[in-house]
Amino acid sequence: TGTVFLAIFGMLTERVLIRHFYKRPPEDQLLVTFGLGIVIVEVVRYFFGSLSKSVPAPDILTGTTNLGFMIYPTYRLALVGIVAVALIVLFLLLYRSQLGLIVRAGIEDSVMVGSLGLNVDRVFMAVFGIGAMAAGFAGIVNAPVVSLAPDMGEAILVQTFVVVVIGGVGSFPGAVLGGLICGEIASLTSMFDPAWSQIMLFVAMTLVLMFRPAGLMGVKGRE
């Protein structure tokens, strides 16, 4: 139910607010979405308070699993499978469906796609709704790992920004690669000093931008 509500909220947000910024510089789009995020966090704080709430994992996924070479929490192991399935679904949606074809074509030349009789605005609205629903689903499955709080998405938002920049804006494989790289960097650095995890992520992003301004797998023509 929550994910359906977020999908509707996402589509309404795109229709009422985001759509008016498509022809403006990317910086304006970034600022308006960041601002909207701050407003949403404060509204949630007002109605539900600032205290975090713990959410237990399903009973079937509690405890640990012996992998032979290590003992790993069962729920976190299940998360690996959930993420893998989500990536496959997103890949098929983007590259093996008519909706994905229209979306990718619309990003490159929305006027041309519109001239073919396709309603690009409705497609973009649907995509925004799917994105909002996916974000809500991510929050649900992540709740047993980190406590629920109004600002729980802020740290993830920063990490997501680094992942996209490292992988390359507009590249789905790049986002996957960037996520794997950032995950390894965060895990390795936290073994020595957790305070360095965020710092090293930005160091890695800086190094990538020095040699690959468009990211590791950035879309050609956007450098």
Q: Name the 3-class secondary structure at 203.
A: helix
Give 220's pLDDT tier (boundaries 50, 70, 90).
low
Contact 72, 65 (CB under 8 A): yes
For the whole model, what pTM was predicted? 0.79
Give 2's pLDDT tier (boundaries 50, 70, 90).
confident
Give 222's pLDDT tier (boundaries 50, 70, 90).
very low
Most confident of 65-69, 84-88, 95-99, 189-193: 84-88
Cβ within 8 Å of residue 206, ≥6 positions away? none
Q: Name the 3-class secondary structure at 20.
A: helix
Q: Residue 120 has what pLDDT? A: 85
CA distances from 8 to 108, 157, 167 (A): 26, 21, 29
Where exactly are the structural domains of the chain? 2-149, 151-218
pLDDT greater than 50 at residue 161: yes
Residue 53, beta-bridge partner list: 148
Quote the tokens at residue 36: 């909207």
| Interval 67-93: pLDDT, tens | 888 888 899 999 999 999 999 998 998
Quote the tokens at residue 74: 């069962």
CA distances from 57 to 73, 114, 125, 140, 144 (A): 11, 46, 33, 10, 5
The CA-based diameter of the chain, rounded to the nearest angstrom, is: 58
User: What's the start-to-end Cα distance of the chain, in Å?
Assistant: 41
User: Which of 172, 171, 173, 163 is closest to 208 using CA atoms?
Assistant: 163
Q: Residue 82 has what pLDDT? A: 92
Which secondary structure element, helix H or strand E, spans residue 157, and what is its range?
A: helix 152-167
